[in-house]
């Protein structure tokens, strides 16, 4: 059995711009438990009050698969184990398993702890013995093991043997600086296996870009325990990414570290952790990124239409992801057919609608439109070509006023006049932090009285790209807007020499898409049962 050990909440939170509240940690623990993670490192109770509070709260949490583990270090040279605040804090958590780290590299013993090598061996052995005597199972993280091994292999081995004598349940070999390459990791592991008969694991950092490779290689070399963080969060360049390690073990090596149904939660868990960390999700991550199974080139999309295996190494559904067909100037008609086949089936490359959509797409992208990140706008364009789109509202006009006072404060107001599908006219005005925000507020104010569901929409991201920098302030700009209703996320696009017009186009597309999406959902709910009742 391979033990999966997640340290997102401790090592991952040491990454730049990564922070989790106690509430965040509780939610992540629940998700990781359902995913099938075996150990979740919850924090360092000896270092800060927040982690102390966290372990007080987590005591009452009933988990199905995971153990929550506190993290600490060997006792301070000035203290006996029974007097050491760090070890006592670990015991006070009342967790069954604890993890402590100790110095493996002789350089660290002398220059950081300022102790002699023999005294460091005693710190390791006596700390683990103390915890074991008090009923804990101890996972020992051999910090800087690989650097220590290549500096003084004999001493590095002695530190592991000291932990083994003290009855540590697992020895975790750490590439703490992340500087070792796979074959170096492999060589050191072979030496450990030849001298020490205890379960061992791997904890890799990504400073050389090979943390996942080093982790997988260690499992292949005999490790039964692997540590990492979701999305590779961690100090400096981050830790080994469990979002990639887990499917590599299960799908590539055939190791059933979690169940098939649990693996299908992988992408959603990865995204949730990004959201709680308040960081953009890395869409180019293996397995769990939106781009992992996205296809753009016409030859590629034509091939996967015939056989998915031509350009996909796994079925994306197995990890909870999905195949995406990107539309761009590189797309052929076959790409478009593949892209729209769920909604519009039975068309071939010479169908008038496909030809029209293809030509319209080429024309739009020549003007600067980009639909790869604006699938909401692309879907609306498709509906218009196929004569299925009826606008929910029509603009009669808008005006934006920007006024700067003598005290340097800026006032912005937008006025909008539009008519809805029933012919009702509305004329509204709203303030905003800027012209785009004022337009957004005025548009919502106008539409929400007719379409209350638009209150669910919130802006996720807003980007402006200058398309021709040589044109200076008169350059054409592309506005990409990402919105969400709490369930789905969609992108829309607008292009113009006027940034307000480009923003308006993206904003109105976003509102239109939400209304259209909900209408289609209602139609499916009504049509589905009707077809079943007729036996069709």
In a domain, 288, yes or no: no
- Specify the pLDDT at position 391: 85
Span of 38-52, 193-207, 288-302, 515-529 with lowest mean pLDDT: 515-529
Packing angle of the helix pair 499-533, 375-385 (nearest 10 deg): 70
User: Does 372 or 444 have the greater pLDDT score?
Assistant: 444
Distance CA 345, CA 339 (A): 10
Whether residues 201 and 241 share a domain: the answer is yes
Would you state the pLDDT for residue 431?
94
Is there a single domain that holds both residue 223 and residue 313? no
pLDDT of residue 533: 52
Q: Please tell me whether residues 352 and 423 are part of one structural domain.
A: no
Query: Residues 364-379: what's their mean pLDDT?
Result: 83
The model's pLDDT over 175-189, given as tens digits with 9 standing for 90+, comes to 999 999 999 999 999
Q: Is the residue at 282 inside a domain?
A: no
For the chain, what percent of residues have pLDDT higher than 90? 67
Q: What is the DSSP letter of 239?
A: B
Does the pTM surpass 0.85? The reply is no
Mean pLDDT, residues 65-80: 96
Q: Is pLDDT at 242 greater than 50 in this prediction? A: yes
What percentage of the chain has pLDDT greater than the value 70?
94
Domain boundary among 243, 276, 309: 276
Q: Are 238 and 228 in contact (CB under 8 A)?
A: no
Q: Are residues 313 and 454 in the same domain?
A: no
My answer on whether 321 and 470 are in the same domain is no
Contact (Cβ atoms closer than 8 angstroms) between residue 374 and residue 480: yes
CATH number, residue 511: 3.30.160.270
- pLDDT (tens digit, 9 = 90+) per residue, 82-107? 999 999 999 999 999 999 999 999 99
Choose the final residue of a domain: 226, 244, 276: 276
Mean pLDDT value across residues 269-284 = 87
CATH number at residue 234: 3.20.20.70
Res. 472: pLDDT tops 50? yes
pLDDT confidence of residue 7: 98
* 382 within some domain: no
Q: Residue range 134-161: average pLDDT?
A: 98
Phi and psi based region of residue 23 (left: phi greater than 0; alpha: psi -120 to 50; beta: remaining)? alpha
Q: How confident is the model at residue 46 (pLDDT cuts 50, 70, 90)?
A: confident
pLDDT at residue 179, as a whole number: 97
Asked if residue 4 lies in contact with residue 246, where contact means CB atoms within 8 angstroms, the answer is yes
Weakest-pLDDT range from 189-203, 240-254, 393-407, 465-479:
465-479
Least confident of 261-270, 313-322, 370-379: 370-379
Do 269 and 304 fall into the same domain? no
Tokens 């360049």 locate to: 237
Q: What pLDDT is recorded for position 329?
A: 53
Around Cβ 380, how many Cβ atoms within 10 Å? 20
Distances (CA, A) of 180 to 211, 215, 220, 231: 9, 12, 17, 21
Label residue 327 by pLDDT band (50, 70, 90).
Answer: low
Average pLDDT, the chain: 90
* Cα–Cα distance measured from residue 484 to residue 278, given in angstroms and rounded to the nearest whole number: 16
Residue 357 maps to a domain: yes
- Report yes or no on 371 lying in a domain: no
Are 170 and 73 members of one domain?
yes
- Whether the per-residue pLDDT at 531 is higher than 50: the answer is no
Q: To which H or E segment does residue 228 belong?
A: strand 225-228
Q: Averaged over 55-67, what is the pLDDT?
A: 94
CA–CA separation, 93 and 525 (whole Å):
50
Domain with 418, as residue range(s), is 393-525
What residues contact residue 241 under an 8 Å CB cut-off, 6+ apart? 206, 211, 212, 228, 229, 230, 231, 232, 285, 286
Contact in structure between 32 and 65 (CB atoms under 8 Å) = no
Section 446-462 average pLDDT? 91
Give yes or no for residue 509 having a pLDDT over 60.
Answer: yes
Which pLDDT value is given to residue 343?
82
Q: At residue 529, does pLDDT exceed 60?
A: no
Is pLDDT above 70 for 530?
Answer: no
> 402 and 346 share a domain?
no
- CB pairs under 8 A, 24+ apart, for 59-62? 59/93, 59/94, 61/26, 61/29, 61/30
pLDDT of 536 > 60? The answer is: no
pLDDT recorded at residue 330: 54
Q: Which two tokens stand for residue 358?
A: 């293809």
**One domain for residues 359 and 487:** no
Q: Are 49 and 113 contained in the same domain? A: yes
More confident residue, 473 or 32: 32
Which of 445, 509, 502 lies closest to 477 in space, CA to CA?
502
Structurally, the chain folds into a number of domains equal to 3
153 touches 126 (CB < 8 A): no
Q: How far apart are CA 288 and CA 432, in angstroms?
A: 37
Residues 217 and 70 reside in one and the same domain = yes
Per-residue pLDDT tens over the stretch 15-41: 999 999 998 999 999 999 999 999 999
Asked if 268 and 173 sit in the same domain, the reply is: yes
pLDDT at residue 332, as a whole number: 66
Which of 154-168, 195-209, 213-227, 347-361 is least confident? 347-361
Asked whether residue 297 carries a pLDDT value surpassing 70, the answer given is: no
Q: Is residue 211 part of a domain?
A: yes
Establish if 158 belongs to a structural domain. yes
Q: Please tell me the predicted confidence (pLDDT) of residue 88.
A: 97
Lowest-pLDDT range of 97-101, 274-278, 417-421: 274-278
Positive or negative, the CA dihedral 185, 189, 192, 194 is negative
Q: Within a domain: residue 372? A: no
Q: What is the mean pLDDT of residues 389-394?
A: 84
Q: Which of 41-50, 125-134, 222-231 is predicted least confidently? A: 41-50
Determine the Cα–Cα distance for residues 4 and 40; give it in Å rounded to an integer: 9
pLDDT of residue 301: 66
């Amino acid at each position: 059995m391979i033990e999966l050990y997640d340290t997102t909440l401790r090592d991952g939170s040491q990454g730049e711009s990564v922070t989790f509240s106690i509430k965040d940690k509780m939610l992540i623990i629940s998700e990781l438990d359902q995913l099938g993670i075996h150990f979740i490192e919850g924090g360092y109770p000896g270092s800060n009050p927040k982690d102390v509070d966290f372990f007080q709260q987590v005591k009452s949490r009933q988990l199905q698969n995971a153990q929550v583990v506190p993290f600490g270090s060997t006792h301070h040279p000035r203290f006996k184990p029974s007097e050491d605040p760090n070890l006592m804090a670990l015991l006070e958590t009342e967790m069954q398993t604890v993890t402590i780290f100790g110095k493996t590299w002789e350089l660290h013993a002398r220059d950081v702890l300022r102790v002699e090598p023999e005294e460091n061996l005693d710190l390791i052995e006596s700390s683990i013995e103390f915890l074991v005597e008090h009923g804990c199972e101890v996972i020992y993280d051999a910090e800087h093991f690989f650097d220590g091994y290549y500096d003084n292999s004999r001493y590095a081995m002695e530190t592991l043997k000291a932990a083994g004598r003290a009855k540590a349940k697992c020895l975790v070999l750490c590439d703490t600086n992340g500087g070792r390459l796979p074959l170096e990791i492999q060589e050191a592991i072979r030496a450990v296996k030849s001298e020490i008969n205890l379960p061992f694991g791997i904890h890799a950092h990504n400073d050389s870009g090979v943390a996942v490779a080093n982790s997988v290689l260690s499992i292949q070399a005999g490790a039964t325990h692997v540590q990492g963080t979701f999305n590779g969060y961690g100090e400096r360049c981050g830790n080994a990414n469990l979002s990639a390690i887990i499917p590599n073990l299960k799908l590539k090596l055939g190791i059933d570290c979690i169940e098939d149904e649990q693996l299908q939660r992988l992408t959603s868990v990865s995204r949730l952790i990004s959201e709680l960390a308040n960081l953009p999700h890395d869409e180019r991550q293996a397995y769990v990124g939106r781009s992992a199974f996205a296809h753009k080139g016409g030859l590629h999309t034509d091939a996967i239409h015939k056989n998915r295996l031509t350009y996909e190494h796994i079925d994306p559904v197995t990890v909870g992801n999905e195949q995406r067909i990107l539309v761009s100037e590189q797309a052929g008609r076959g790409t478009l057919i593949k892209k729209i086949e769920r909604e519009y089936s039975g068309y071939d490359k010479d169908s008038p609608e496909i030809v029209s959509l293809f030509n319209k797409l080429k024309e739009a992208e020549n003007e600067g439109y980009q639909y790869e990140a604006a699938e909401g706008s692309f879907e609306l364009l498709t509906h218009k070509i196929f004569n299925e789109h009826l606008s929910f509202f029509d603009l009669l006009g808008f005006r934006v006023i920007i006024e700067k006072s003598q005290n340097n404060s800026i006032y912005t107001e937008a006025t909008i006049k539009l008519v809805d599908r029933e012919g009702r006219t509305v004329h509204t005005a709203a303030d905003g932090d800027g012209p785009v925000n004022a337009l957004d507020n005025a548009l919502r104010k106008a539409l929400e009285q007719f379409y209350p569901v638009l209150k669910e929409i919130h802006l996720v991201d807003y980007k402006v790209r200058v398309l021709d920098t040589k044109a200076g302030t008169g350059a054409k700009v592309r506005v990409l807007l990402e919105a969400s209703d709490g369930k789905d996320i969609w992108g829309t696009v607008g292009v113009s020499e006027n940034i307000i017009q480009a923003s308006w186009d993206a904003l109105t597309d976003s509102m239109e898409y939400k209304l259209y999406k909900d209408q289609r959902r209602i139609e499916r709910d009504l049509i589905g049962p009707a077809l079943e009742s007729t036996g069709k």
